[in-house]
Structure 1
Amino acid sequence: MGLTLPIELFQQANRRISAQQENVLLSWVCELPGGAAKRVFDQGKAFKGERFFWQNKERTLRLAGLGATDQLRVEQGQDRFLALHTRKEQVLQRTVTNSEETACGAVYFGGFSFDDQQDTSSEWEKFGEGFFYLPLFLVTEKEDRCYLSVNLWLSEEDDYAKVEAVMAQWDKIVASLVMPDSEVACILEERLAEDAWLRAATDVVALLQESPNMQKVVLARRMRLGFDGFLSSSLIIANMEEQQGNSYCFVLENGTSTFFGATPERLLMADAAHLESACVAGSIARGETASEDAVLGETLLSDAKNLAEHHFVVEMIQGTMAQFCEDVQVSASPILLKNRDIQHLYMTVSGRRSEARMLDVLRALHPTPALGGWPQSEAMTVIRLKEEMDRGFYGAPIGWIDSLDRGEFAVAIRSALAIDTNAILYAGCGIVADSVPTEELAETAIKFQPMLRVLGGKVHERT
């Protein structure tokens, strides 16, 4: 494509290097006519293991990142939200850029662990308590326009030849043919520790019935799939886009591990003036016919248990947003959020942003009662005692944040972790005092369906 990074911006970076006596991040943004984030992701196979993809549920924003100009892995014991905020602010102080376009330039993408007090299991070890990339190349597709961001560190020893080498690398990427990846077959499906999960759910129901204060505890479980080859991120994205409408689609590669999902749940969206969150809780299956689907939807809208679960979420998010926003607005009443395999109760909470730092709001919101329980602290204690697994990034914030503190994070549900030729799927459900453990187990089976379908596993259709 012959793109040329302006020499003037390079010279500006050199002057900053001389003045500050330290390396400088040069972040160049240009419009990319005819660009497409998914195509560039597919073309970037040379960066496999250092790629990410993000698509919002409205499909008005797509991000594809290749390479890691900077990488943040948060260690246990660190304040993970503060660690990311501090890193991006430090980088911002050393950045020379030509654009303030949202979701362009020095954008960090990644996620956090669900519980930083949980011992990290071996499959999640390389992700730490938080894991984020600042990509070398970022393609941002939004509002019918497409942008390329090039992020590279420059030192006083670097001349323009380094810039030319990076741009030549970009030209090679976009000139490469997109070769389709091979399909792999699912050869193993293992539902892990179902009996232990049922015992834990029974114990939690008894605890809730005896406790005057605790209202809800979310218990999660896992299943494992095995394949006759390595999973392809490109095929995973294509399947999620085709099958999982009305959902965020994300892929985060980290070496031979890939965390991915198609989640319906926004945790926080921030622009310069506003903050917005979504209240997603309560669930029921989709119907086989339009009339059956409508009946199921009406059942959900009038079900006392699900309405109570949803109310906990709305109350908590509204109260949290009120700490950071002015003029907080809550949508009038729950509506149905319909995905391919499941439907939920849905409302929004928004407000005018004051001086709030995005990651402070994110910290305060996580975990909502939809993924942890209520009250939060007591529910988390029970989860640590009864769940007997590491959720890793499941149920936790995943998304992006740019240098001007704008961004969006979703809740990483309907998600899976692929490691070599295996995948671990995650699903959870809210346990309340009148829950029936076998019915809750059936609900988690429904929540496995989206990733089972994406990966070609055995999808258990309702009869």
Structure 2
Amino acid sequence: MGITLPLALFEQAKRHATKDEPALLSYVHEFTSDVSPLVLYQKAKDAFSGERFFWQNPEKTLTLAGFGVTEQFLAQDKQKDAYVGLEDRIRALKVRTVTNATEKQTGPLYFGGFAFDPERETGKEWQVFKDALFYLPLFMVTKKKERVFLTVNVVIYPDDETNKFEAVQAQWEKIANAAVPSLEIDTLVSAKELDPDAFLENAAEIVSLLQGSEDLHKVVLSRRMGLRFGHQVDSGAVLEQMIKTQNSSYFFVLEKGSALFFGATPERLVEVSDGEVYSACVAGSAPRGKTEAEDEKLGNELLTDAKNLREHRYVVDMIEDTLRGFTEDLSVSSEPVLLKNRDIQHLYMHVKAKKRADVTITEIARALHPTPALGGLPQQMAKAIIRMKETDDRGLYGAPVGFVNMDFEGEFAVAIRSGLVVDSLGILFAGCGIVSDSVPAKELEETRMKFQPMLRVLGGTEL
């Protein structure tokens, strides 16, 4: 898995650079043998622990593993919009980039996530992520179906010598030849649902608000589960367990020092590729059955349940209305179908459109977030109520996580079925949509069901 110095590209980058404005050399190499991004992510633990990310789409047609940070975008000025800030950073980087990349999802791209609500004060557990954190990785392994590529991103100054890139080559060789570390999630010492009584009280108050308002239709209320481990949790072990125990999901892991944000989410927010825009309408929830017959019965009940269908229609209408402002030739699948995960099934519809030429994926993500599935309806009114009722910052939970390239294409999922671990302490997140006929006790049970996937990943027992 060796790589060779791209001498011509290196010299071009040097000519492109100035003392004050260095160039970015983004070199792409295609492997001829079968290479696993997951294995390389794990091998990079010793060299780049705290500086790694992983992404895989539900179809397993795209996997990204990044380690090392050539540049990061950290949005910490609350007076500035994080989406606009990331766009500005990308535009500034693009004009000083030299690359041989020809395949999408290779070459320079940023991976990370935005905060759910940048208008509220950042919680102490989310401090390292701020309002947004995105990495331009030193090394990124891309697997597209059966083809595998390595991207190396290096900052080049006019007086750099070839030994700079040779040192990076040596780093890569060390990772490629390293042994795979033993992977085991440390013993889960305790798992405790936090403030269930407060959730029930807030849910009842929101139901009253909904019943007394003609304008407010839905508010998504979230809650937490606190976890404690014996030692710091290994992100590679968490990733391996997610892949083993979940299906039909986006898998994501984002490290920042001793903090780890991870999840297996069923929900795409937006994908932009070759001028096409894709989104998904996911809402409504039911448990999976213990037998095939019970599972079919629960699924059929979900497909005909008035409350869940109404929640899903809110999502469909909002996504359709929002995308019309950025696209043409928009189409939505005709009726909901079931999206089945191991523990939960949802109502699902697919959206496709042609992107207008002047539109970026970050603009679309900003406008869509949060959809009624994660925030409520109307969007701003629901966010204001969430701010009042939830005492804790959601951080990256429920927000866009994914990647964007220099042409503002990429993909964002919604970071649900997720958790945060800092050192040996963890938090799991779960939410549910409150509508006018919601029963708070049933909504509490729904959130317990939504804790289950990540609790199982981390070694917990059935709730």
Give the TM-score normalised by the residue count of structure 2.
Answer: 0.98
Determine helix, strand or coil for the equivalent of 1:67. Answer: strand
Determine helix, strand or coil for the equivalent of 2:134. Answer: strand
Q: Which residue of 2 aligns with 1:428?
A: 431
Q: Which residue of 2 aligns with 1:256?
A: 258
Q: Which residue of 1 aligns with 2:16?
A: 16
Which string of whole-angstrom CA distances, capped at 9 and with x for unpartnered residues, describes residues 34-85 of structure 1? Answer: 2211011011011000000000011111100011000111012210100111
Between the aligned partners of 1:237 and 1:182, the Cα distance in structure 2 is: 11
Give runs of aligned pairs for residues 31-430 of structure 1, distance below 5 A. 31-33=30-32, 34-45=34-45, 46-75=47-76, 76-355=78-357, 356-430=359-433
Determine helix, strand or coil for the equivalent of 2:128. Answer: helix
CA deviation after TM superposition for structure 1 residue 181, in Å: 2.5
Between the aligned partners of 1:187 and 1:128, the Cα distance in structure 2 is: 29
Q: Give the residue type in structure 2 aligned to 1:30.
A: H
Determine helix, strand or coil for the equivalent of 1:408. Answer: strand
Residue 321 of structure 1 contacts residue 350 of structure 1 at CA under 8 Å; is this kept in 2? Answer: no
Report which stretch shifted further, 178-187 or 293-302: 178-187
Q: How many residues are matched? A: 459
CA deviation after TM superposition for structure 1 residue 21, in Å: 5.9
CA deviation after TM superposition for structure 1 residue 139, in Å: 0.2
Between the aligned partners of 1:58 and 1:115, the Cα distance in structure 2 is: 30
Structure 1: gaps (5+ residues) = none
Q: Give the residue type in structure 1 aligned to 2:41.
A: F
CA deviation after TM superposition for structure 1 residue 229, in Å: 1.9
Give the TM-score normalised by the residue count of structure 1.
Answer: 0.98
Match of 1:459 among 426, 437, 462: 462
Which string of whole-angstrom CA distances, capped at 9 and with x for unpartnered residues, describes residues 111-166 of structure 1? Answer: 00000111111000110100000000000001210000000101123111100000
Residue 414 of structure 1 contacts residue 451 of structure 1 at CA under 8 Å; is this kept in 2? Answer: yes
Question: Could you say what the CA RMSD is over the residues aligned between the two structures, in angstroms?
Answer: 1.0
Q: Give the residue type in structure 1 aligned to 2:137.
A: P
Structure 2: gaps (5+ residues) = none
Q: Give the residue type in structure 2 aligned to 1:401.
A: V
Between the aligned partners of 1:319 and 1:70, the Cα distance in structure 2 is: 36
Residue 185 of structure 2 contacts residue 459 of structure 2 at CA under 8 Å; is this kept in 1? Answer: no
Determine helix, strand or coil for the equivalent of 1:69. Answer: strand
Identity %: 50
Q: Give the residue type in structure 2 aligned to 1:6.
A: P
Between the aligned partners of 1:30 and 1:150, the Cα distance in structure 2 is: 8
Q: Give the residue type in structure 1 aligned to 2:27.
A: W
CA deviation after TM superposition for structure 1 residue 382, in Å: 0.7
CA deviation after TM superposition for structure 1 residue 100, in Å: 2.9
Between the aligned partners of 2:105 and 2:7, the Cα distance in structure 1 is: 24
Q: Which residue of 2 aligns with 1:7?
A: 7
